Structure 1
Amino acid sequence: MPRLDFWYEFASTYSYLTIHRVETLAQAAGVELRWRPFLLGPIFTAQGWMNSPFNIFPAKGRYMWRDLERNCAARGHPFTRPAGFPQNSVKAARLALAVGDAARPDFSREVFLAEFARGQVISDESVLAGILRDLDLPADLLEQAQSDPIRERLREETETARKLGLFGAPSFVTEDGELFWGDDRLEQALDWARRP
């Protein structure tokens, strides 16, 4: 079965759009999906950006928020603009790695919903603990997520993303290394992934 790596950042608005449809479309296409959380902050910093480009360029930011509102309304997704943007996603990303491959999709969707549907702060451990509880996942995963091996794994994943040329999220990378960026490129990425 062909495989597609779905790279996402919990602070990414357009990744929020993707999480609602990526699994359904991948299953319909017969493509195995790997959920790969990473951090955009270090990648932006390496490019000389100390903030999200949506904050650095106000016109781009205004457009993004309106575009997100339109897309969420059209697709029937709840949307609440978070109080701060971008949110600190380090704890959530570490926890997404700690929960393991099987639980990662459900956990990740719930983090995005907490942030962009309910307006919660995803760096708040009580929010993350609530998600673990709602998914019947062990509470001690919060502690495991702070361990040196998980911290190192997130650093490694982020470095892998940088080496692959990722500069934004969501991004999709096929087994042959083809990179597609943005929610609007998901279908194209899936088509490429299943090419002979």
Structure 2
Amino acid sequence: MHRHQLDFWYDFASPYAYLAAMRIEALAEIHAVDVRWRPFLLGPIFAAQGWSDSPFNLFPAKGRYHWRDLARQSAKYGLPFKAPANFPPNSLAAVRLGLHLRDSDQAGPFSRALFAATFGEGRPMSDADVLASVLTKLGIDAGRAIAESQSPSVKARLRAQTEEARSRGLFGSPTFLTGDGELFWGNDRLEEAIAWAAGERPGGML
């Protein structure tokens, strides 16, 4: 069977990316779609739009709505949800680790486990002990992985990844990009993105 491809762009600091990350592979498999995990930093994208903080904080009414919505959506999907004490969390170390593992078979498991620790349990992703715990539970040498994720090559890859996100028009997380370049933003567009990646077009669209 021919396999299709979908790029999943996400910042670990994004709670809606948590919802998408916990669901994407099972849904994609139904349509024979392979997921490429593409962690990036959302901060520079926001800065380019003139934002110095998360929209959750810049617009309090919107923030209150989203936290309540996240609780509702998590309950709908049967996922635990606990907002982190400090938001947005510093995701730099996490994104570097995600990039370091991106081309391995641990990219998905690591991302899901860290999202679950952050937004399912409320643990701080910037804490080295939390990162080490997640890695160790996956059978990954935590000390080695963390050290390698801080290498100049990974830092350069992160800069390139974030610049690619900007150049491809990404403005939020999660974002899904299909093989033909169609962009979908938000957890609520996950199913549509997978269907498009598999060749399904609504209403005869090209």
TM range (shorter): over 0.9
Q: Secondary structure at the match of 2:9?
A: strand
The farther-off stretch of 171-180 and 92-101 is 92-101
Letter in 2 for 1:180: F
Cα root mean square deviation, aligned: 1.0
Asked whether 1:91 is paired with 2:56, we answer no
Q: Secondary structure at the match of 2:88?
A: coil
Q: In the alignment, what sits opposite 2:65?
A: 63
- Aligned sequence identity (%): 55
Residue segments in structure 2 that go unaligned for 5+ positions in a row: 201-206
Contact kept, 8 Å, 2:38 with 2:102, in 1: the verdict is: no
**TM-score, normalised relative to structure 1:** 0.97
Alignment of 1:83-162 (within 5 A): 83-101=85-103, 102-139=105-142, 140-162=144-166
Contact kept, 8 Å, 2:11 with 2:17, in 1: the verdict is: yes
Q: Secondary structure at the match of 1:152?
A: helix
**TM-score, normalised relative to structure 2:** 0.93
Measure the CA separation in 1 of the matches of 2:177 and 2:101: 22
Residue segments in structure 1 that go unaligned for 5+ positions in a row: none
Count of aligned residue pairs for this structure pair: 196
Which deviations, in whole Å up to 9, do the C-alpha atoms of 1:82-131 show, x marking residues without a partner? 00110000000101111242101000011111111111110111110111
Measure the CA separation in 2 of the matches of 1:117 and 1:162: 29
Alignment of 1:1-196 (within 5 A): 1-101=3-103, 102-139=105-142, 140-195=144-199
